[in-house]
Structure 1
Amino acid sequence: MDRTALETELQDIFDADQRAARVVARQARDLADSGRFADDLGMELSVEIVRSNLEDAPADYSLVERWNWWLGSLELSHGGYERFQIRDGAV
């Protein structure tokens, strides 16, 4: 997954500041590199998959809240995703 492309898309789509977009993109890249998403869901993590899932989060959520909302769903359904969530103070 292209972390730079994801960072740019997150800023454009979610009107996120550069710092938040960078942190989310870094976590997404770490998730992709771990292979966990591909193993659990049978597909490689892509910019489009991240964007689509973040768009499903409640509209009033910030970018980081959207990311954590999605990762929380993955944690509940498959387990092992908590380590990719963004902790308070990381942004």
Structure 2
Amino acid sequence: MDRQELERVLSETFDDAGAAGVVARQAGDMADGGQFDADFGGELTVETVVENLHDAPDEYALAERWNWWLGALDLSHGGYARFSVRPDVGRQS
């Protein structure tokens, strides 16, 4: 998976440049680990990530959407929680 492309698409789609880089990095790590490929019989793509993040509740920010999807993956297959991100990622302290 192209992490830079995913970061760009996430930033544009969800208007959250602060979290896009972190989510893209975690998605890339998840893709590199091969578990998604093994569990679902196909490569993790930018399109797959974006489609699944669109399924999250509308009021969720990007990091929350990512964690929501990972929660579902972890519940159904296990081993995905390690790719979650802090919900406050991208916010200024």
TM-score (norm 1): 0.94
Asked if 1:79 is matched to 2:78, the reply is yes
Q: Deviations over 1:60-80 (max 9, x none)?
A: 000000000000000000000
Q: Could you say what the CA RMSD is over the residues aligned between the two structures, in angstroms?
A: 1.1
Whole-angstrom distance in 1 between the partners of 2:4 and 2:32: 15
Letter in 2 for 1:13: T
How much has 1:87 moved relative to structure 2? 2.8
Unaligned runs of 5+ in 1: none
In structure 2, the partner of 1:13 is: 13
Asked if 1:38 is matched to 2:73, the reply is no
How much has 1:51 moved relative to structure 2? 0.3
Whole-angstrom distance in 1 between the partners of 2:87 and 2:5: 25
Whole-angstrom distance in 2 between the partners of 1:44 and 1:82: 19
TM-score (norm 2): 0.92
Seen in structure 2, the aligned counterparts of structure 1 residues 14 and 89 have a Cα distance that, compared at 3 Å, is closer
How much has 1:29 moved relative to structure 2? 0.1
Letter in 1 for 2:2: D
How much has 1:90 moved relative to structure 2? 4.7
May I ask how many residue pairs the two structures share in their alignment? 90
